[in-house]
Protein backbone atom coordinates (compact mmCIF):
# COMPACT_ATOMS: atom_id res chain seq x y z
CA UNK A 1 0.00 0.00 0.00
CA UNK A 2 1.22 3.50 -0.73
CA UNK A 3 1.50 5.90 2.21
CA UNK A 4 -0.84 8.93 2.03
CA UNK A 5 1.46 11.37 3.81
CA UNK A 6 4.06 13.85 2.64
CA UNK A 7 6.97 13.35 2.97
CA UNK A 8 6.56 9.62 2.48
CA UNK A 9 3.81 9.15 -0.07
CA UNK A 10 5.87 6.79 -2.24
CA UNK A 11 6.85 4.45 0.61
CA UNK A 12 5.91 0.83 -0.05
CA UNK A 13 5.87 -2.00 2.51
CA UNK A 14 5.83 -5.66 1.60
CA UNK A 15 7.14 -9.09 2.60
CA UNK A 16 9.63 -11.50 1.03
CA UNK A 17 10.23 -14.97 2.43
CA UNK A 18 8.73 -13.91 5.74
CA UNK A 19 10.85 -10.76 6.06
CA UNK A 20 9.46 -7.25 5.85
CA UNK A 21 10.78 -5.17 2.96
CA UNK A 22 10.54 -1.37 2.85
CA UNK A 23 10.67 0.46 -0.46
CA UNK A 24 11.98 3.79 0.77
CA UNK A 25 11.45 7.02 -1.18
CA UNK A 26 13.79 10.01 -1.15
CA UNK A 27 12.31 11.22 2.15
CA UNK A 28 14.22 8.43 3.93
CA UNK A 29 17.35 10.63 3.58
CA UNK A 30 15.69 13.65 5.14
CA UNK A 31 16.61 14.67 8.70
CA UNK A 32 12.97 15.70 9.20
CA UNK A 33 10.46 13.27 10.65
CA UNK A 34 8.65 11.49 7.85
CA UNK A 35 6.62 8.42 6.98
CA UNK A 36 9.68 6.17 6.78
CA UNK A 37 10.42 6.88 10.46
CA UNK A 38 6.92 5.82 11.52
CA UNK A 39 7.08 2.48 9.73
CA UNK A 40 10.66 1.67 10.76
CA UNK A 41 9.96 2.50 14.43
CA UNK A 42 7.06 0.05 14.49
CA UNK A 43 8.93 -2.75 12.75
CA UNK A 44 11.96 -2.43 15.04
CA UNK A 45 9.60 -2.62 18.02
CA UNK A 46 8.20 -5.90 16.65
CA UNK A 47 4.81 -4.41 15.80
CA UNK A 48 2.96 -5.45 12.67
CA UNK A 49 2.25 -2.73 10.12
CA UNK A 50 -0.78 -3.45 7.99
CA UNK A 51 -2.21 -1.68 4.96
CA UNK A 52 -4.84 -0.19 7.24
CA UNK A 53 -2.12 1.13 9.58
CA UNK A 54 -0.35 2.83 6.70
CA UNK A 55 -3.59 4.30 5.40
CA UNK A 56 -4.45 5.65 8.84
CA UNK A 57 -1.13 7.51 9.04
CA UNK A 58 -2.49 9.99 6.53
CA UNK A 59 -5.58 10.81 8.59
CA UNK A 60 -5.67 13.98 10.61
CA UNK A 61 -2.50 15.63 9.33
CA UNK A 62 -0.08 13.72 11.55
CA UNK A 63 2.84 15.32 9.75
CA UNK A 64 2.87 19.09 10.07
CA UNK A 65 3.50 21.14 6.95
CA UNK A 66 7.23 20.97 6.26
CA UNK A 67 9.06 24.34 6.36
CA UNK A 68 10.36 24.06 2.83
CA UNK A 69 6.85 23.91 1.40
CA UNK A 70 4.73 26.38 3.36
CA UNK A 71 2.29 26.92 0.48
CA UNK A 72 -0.83 24.82 -0.30
CA UNK A 73 -0.30 21.75 -2.45
CA UNK A 74 -2.20 23.29 -5.37
CA UNK A 75 -1.66 27.05 -5.13
CA UNK A 76 -3.46 29.38 -7.45
CA UNK A 77 -1.22 30.39 -10.35
CA UNK A 78 0.27 33.82 -9.95
CA UNK A 79 -0.78 36.41 -12.49
CA UNK A 80 1.63 36.45 -15.42
CA UNK A 81 2.67 40.01 -14.74
CA UNK A 82 3.49 39.11 -11.13
CA UNK A 83 5.49 36.01 -12.11
CA UNK A 84 7.43 37.98 -14.68
CA UNK A 85 8.60 40.39 -11.99
CA UNK A 86 9.58 37.89 -9.31
CA UNK A 87 12.72 39.23 -7.65
CA UNK A 88 15.86 37.13 -7.63
CA UNK A 89 19.02 37.98 -5.71
CA UNK A 90 22.42 36.52 -6.53
CA UNK A 91 24.65 35.08 -3.80
CA UNK A 92 28.24 35.10 -5.07
CA UNK A 93 30.43 32.74 -3.05
CA UNK A 94 33.91 34.23 -2.65
CA UNK A 95 35.01 33.05 0.80
CA UNK A 96 37.01 29.89 0.02
CA UNK A 97 40.68 29.26 0.71
CA UNK A 98 41.63 27.98 -2.78
CA UNK A 99 43.43 25.14 -0.98
CA UNK A 100 44.26 23.25 -4.18
CA UNK A 101 46.07 26.29 -5.59
CA UNK A 102 48.98 25.81 -3.22
CA UNK A 103 48.86 29.34 -1.83
CA UNK A 104 47.54 31.96 -4.28
CA UNK A 105 43.86 32.94 -4.13
CA UNK A 106 42.26 31.84 -7.39
CA UNK A 107 39.57 34.52 -7.08
CA UNK A 108 42.27 37.17 -7.51
CA UNK A 109 43.75 35.52 -10.61
CA UNK A 110 43.62 37.79 -13.64
CA UNK A 111 41.45 37.02 -16.66
CA UNK A 112 41.99 39.57 -19.43
CA UNK A 113 43.65 41.77 -16.81
CA UNK A 114 40.69 41.61 -14.40
CA UNK A 115 40.44 39.68 -11.09
CA UNK A 116 38.22 36.61 -11.49
CA UNK A 117 35.97 37.61 -8.58
CA UNK A 118 35.36 41.03 -10.18
CA UNK A 119 34.59 39.38 -13.50
CA UNK A 120 32.03 37.15 -11.74
CA UNK A 121 30.49 40.08 -9.85
CA UNK A 122 30.16 42.14 -13.02
CA UNK A 123 28.34 39.27 -14.73
CA UNK A 124 25.95 39.15 -11.77
CA UNK A 125 25.38 42.90 -11.83
CA UNK A 126 24.73 42.82 -15.58
CA UNK A 127 21.93 40.28 -15.19
CA UNK A 128 18.23 40.63 -14.39
CA UNK A 129 18.91 39.92 -10.71
CA UNK A 130 17.70 42.58 -8.28
CA UNK A 131 20.79 42.52 -6.10
CA UNK A 132 24.11 40.78 -5.57
CA UNK A 133 25.42 39.55 -2.21
CA UNK A 134 29.12 38.65 -2.13
CA UNK A 135 30.12 36.26 0.66
CA UNK A 136 33.69 36.92 1.83
CA UNK A 137 35.96 35.03 4.23
CA UNK A 138 39.49 34.08 3.23
CA UNK A 139 41.49 37.23 2.39
CA UNK A 140 38.29 39.23 2.73
CA UNK A 141 40.03 42.61 2.49
CA UNK A 142 41.78 41.71 -0.77
CA UNK A 143 38.56 40.36 -2.24
CA UNK A 144 36.68 43.52 -1.24
CA UNK A 145 39.40 45.66 -2.76
CA UNK A 146 39.09 43.73 -6.01
CA UNK A 147 35.38 44.63 -6.06
CA UNK A 148 35.89 48.31 -5.29
CA UNK A 149 33.24 50.56 -6.82
CA UNK A 150 30.77 47.79 -7.64
CA UNK A 151 27.19 47.97 -6.34
CA UNK A 152 27.27 44.77 -4.30
CA UNK A 153 26.37 43.91 -0.71
CA UNK A 154 29.00 42.11 1.37
CA UNK A 155 28.22 39.30 3.79
CA UNK A 156 31.22 38.27 5.88
CA UNK A 157 31.56 34.63 6.83
CA UNK A 158 33.98 34.27 9.76
CA UNK A 159 33.36 30.51 9.74
CA UNK A 160 34.45 29.98 6.11
CA UNK A 161 36.95 27.28 7.14
CA UNK A 162 34.05 25.07 8.27
CA UNK A 163 32.97 24.51 4.67
CA UNK A 164 30.53 25.53 1.98
CA UNK A 165 27.41 25.41 4.15
CA UNK A 166 28.64 28.30 6.30
CA UNK A 167 28.96 30.55 3.24
CA UNK A 168 25.56 29.48 1.93
CA UNK A 169 23.97 30.37 5.24
CA UNK A 170 25.71 33.74 5.42
CA UNK A 171 24.64 34.60 1.89
CA UNK A 172 21.02 33.49 2.21
CA UNK A 173 20.71 35.44 5.48
CA UNK A 174 21.61 38.61 3.57
CA UNK A 175 19.16 38.14 0.68
CA UNK A 176 16.47 40.81 0.52
CA UNK A 177 13.20 40.00 2.26
CA UNK A 178 11.10 40.30 -0.88
CA UNK A 179 13.26 38.08 -3.09
CA UNK A 180 11.41 35.03 -4.38
CA UNK A 181 14.65 33.15 -4.91
CA UNK A 182 18.43 33.25 -4.63
CA UNK A 183 20.85 32.20 -7.32
CA UNK A 184 24.01 30.64 -5.91
CA UNK A 185 26.92 31.63 -8.15
CA UNK A 186 30.42 30.25 -7.55
CA UNK A 187 33.13 32.87 -7.77
CA UNK A 188 35.53 30.58 -9.66
CA UNK A 189 33.56 29.98 -12.88
CA UNK A 190 35.06 32.31 -15.49
CA UNK A 191 32.76 31.27 -18.34
CA UNK A 192 29.48 32.38 -16.72
CA UNK A 193 28.01 35.43 -18.46
CA UNK A 194 25.09 37.71 -17.61
CA UNK A 195 23.02 36.12 -20.38
CA UNK A 196 23.46 32.69 -18.76
CA UNK A 197 22.18 34.02 -15.46
CA UNK A 198 19.22 35.63 -17.21
CA UNK A 199 18.21 32.30 -18.73
CA UNK A 200 18.04 30.77 -15.26
CA UNK A 201 16.02 33.71 -13.94
CA UNK A 202 13.58 33.47 -16.87
CA UNK A 203 13.05 29.75 -16.18
CA UNK A 204 12.48 30.47 -12.49
CA UNK A 205 9.88 33.09 -13.28
CA UNK A 206 8.20 30.72 -15.72
CA UNK A 207 7.84 28.22 -12.86
CA UNK A 208 6.17 31.00 -10.83
CA UNK A 209 8.97 30.82 -8.30
CA UNK A 210 8.39 27.23 -7.23
CA UNK A 211 11.11 25.30 -9.08
CA UNK A 212 14.79 24.85 -8.41
CA UNK A 213 16.56 25.97 -11.59
CA UNK A 214 19.94 24.46 -12.35
CA UNK A 215 22.45 25.20 -15.10
CA UNK A 216 23.49 22.14 -17.08
CA UNK A 217 26.00 21.12 -19.74
CA UNK A 218 25.15 18.31 -22.14
CA UNK A 219 22.56 16.96 -19.74
CA UNK A 220 24.85 16.99 -16.69
CA UNK A 221 23.99 19.21 -13.73
CA UNK A 222 26.28 22.13 -13.11
CA UNK A 223 26.26 25.63 -11.66
CA UNK A 224 24.82 28.17 -10.95
CA UNK A 225 21.70 26.96 -9.12
CA UNK A 226 18.66 29.12 -8.38
CA UNK A 227 16.85 28.20 -5.16
CA UNK A 228 13.27 29.22 -4.32
CA UNK A 229 12.58 30.97 -1.01
CA UNK A 230 10.84 27.80 0.25
CA UNK A 231 14.32 26.26 0.75
CA UNK A 232 15.82 29.15 2.72
CA UNK A 233 14.74 27.85 6.15
CA UNK A 234 16.32 24.44 5.50
CA UNK A 235 19.58 26.02 4.31
CA UNK A 236 19.91 27.69 7.71
CA UNK A 237 20.36 24.19 9.21
CA UNK A 238 23.07 22.91 6.85
CA UNK A 239 26.36 21.84 8.40
CA UNK A 240 29.88 21.14 7.13
CA UNK A 241 31.14 21.19 3.55
CA UNK A 242 27.75 20.52 1.97
CA UNK A 243 25.74 22.55 -0.49
CA UNK A 244 22.03 22.59 -1.19
CA UNK A 245 22.08 19.56 -3.52
CA UNK A 246 20.91 17.02 -0.96
CA UNK A 247 18.19 19.39 0.22
CA UNK A 248 16.83 19.61 -3.29
CA UNK A 249 16.79 15.82 -3.55
CA UNK A 250 15.36 15.19 -0.08
CA UNK A 251 12.56 17.75 -0.31
CA UNK A 252 11.37 16.53 -3.68
CA UNK A 253 11.11 19.97 -5.27
CA UNK A 254 10.66 20.34 -9.00
CA UNK A 255 13.98 20.88 -10.77
CA UNK A 256 14.35 22.65 -14.10
CA UNK A 257 17.65 22.14 -15.93
CA UNK A 258 18.71 24.91 -18.29
CA UNK A 259 21.43 24.12 -20.85
CA UNK A 260 23.99 26.94 -20.92
CA UNK A 261 26.91 25.08 -22.47
CA UNK A 262 30.33 24.25 -21.08
CA UNK A 263 30.35 27.35 -18.86
CA UNK A 264 28.16 25.38 -16.42
CA UNK A 265 30.93 22.87 -15.75
CA UNK A 266 34.15 24.92 -15.95
CA UNK A 267 35.59 25.93 -12.61
CA UNK A 268 39.23 26.59 -11.74
CA UNK A 269 40.15 24.52 -8.69
CA UNK A 270 43.75 23.78 -9.69
CA UNK A 271 46.58 25.85 -11.21
CA UNK A 272 46.38 23.74 -14.36
CA UNK A 273 42.63 24.33 -14.74
CA UNK A 274 43.05 28.04 -14.14
CA UNK A 275 45.82 28.44 -16.72
CA UNK A 276 43.85 26.29 -19.16
CA UNK A 277 40.88 28.64 -18.80
CA UNK A 278 43.04 31.66 -19.55
CA UNK A 279 43.86 32.87 -16.06
CA UNK A 280 47.08 34.19 -14.52
CA UNK A 281 47.67 33.51 -10.82
CA UNK A 282 48.76 36.37 -8.58
CA UNK A 283 50.75 36.10 -5.35
140 with 4, same domain: the answer is: no
Let me know whether 4 and 102 are in one domain.
Answer: no
Answer yes or no: do 240 and 138 share one domain: yes
Which pLDDT belongs to residue 258?
A: 96
Residues 130 and 24 in one domain: no
Is residue 50 domain-shared with residue 165, that is, in the same domain?
A: no
Q: Are 165 and 238 in contact (CB under 8 A)?
A: yes
For residue 72, being part of any structural domain is answered with: no
Kindly tell me the number of DSSP H helices and DSSP E strands found in the chain: 10, 12
Domain termination site, one of 36, 66, 96? 66
Residues 242 and 127 reside in one and the same domain: yes
pTM score over 0.75: no
User: How far is the first Cα of the chain from the last one, in angstroms, to the nearest whole number?
Assistant: 63
**Residues spanned by the domain of 29:** 1-66
75 lies in some domain: no
Do 11 and 97 fall within a single domain?
A: no
Our count of domains for the chain comes to 2
Average pLDDT over all residues of the chain:
85
Claim to verify: residue 268 and residue 204 sit in the same structural domain: yes
What is the per-residue pLDDT across 244-263, written as a single tens digit (0 to 9) for each?
A: 777 776 666 789 999 999 99
What is the C-alpha to C-alpha distance for residues 175 and 198, in angstroms, rounded to an integer? 18
Looking at the domain assignment, is residue 71 inside a domain? no
The string of pLDDT tens digits covering residues 174-216 is 999 999 999 999 999 999 999 999 999 999 999 999 999 999 9
Q: Is 32 within a domain?
A: yes
Q: What integer is the mean pLDDT of 258-277?
A: 90
pLDDT digits (tens, 9 = 90+) for 111-167: 999 999 999 999 999 999 999 999 999 999 999 999 999 999 999 999 998 888 999
SS3 for 211? coil
For residues 189 and 197, the answer to whether their CB atoms sit within 8 Å is no
Amino acid sequence: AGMPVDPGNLLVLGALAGKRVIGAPGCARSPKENGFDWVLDRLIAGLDVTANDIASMGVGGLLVEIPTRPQPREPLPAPKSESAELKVDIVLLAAGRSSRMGGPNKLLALFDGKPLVRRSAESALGSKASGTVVVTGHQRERVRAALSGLDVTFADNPDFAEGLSSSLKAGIASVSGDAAGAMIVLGDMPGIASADLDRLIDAFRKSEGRSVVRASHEGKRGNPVLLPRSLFAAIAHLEGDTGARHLVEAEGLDVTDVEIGKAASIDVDTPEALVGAGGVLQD
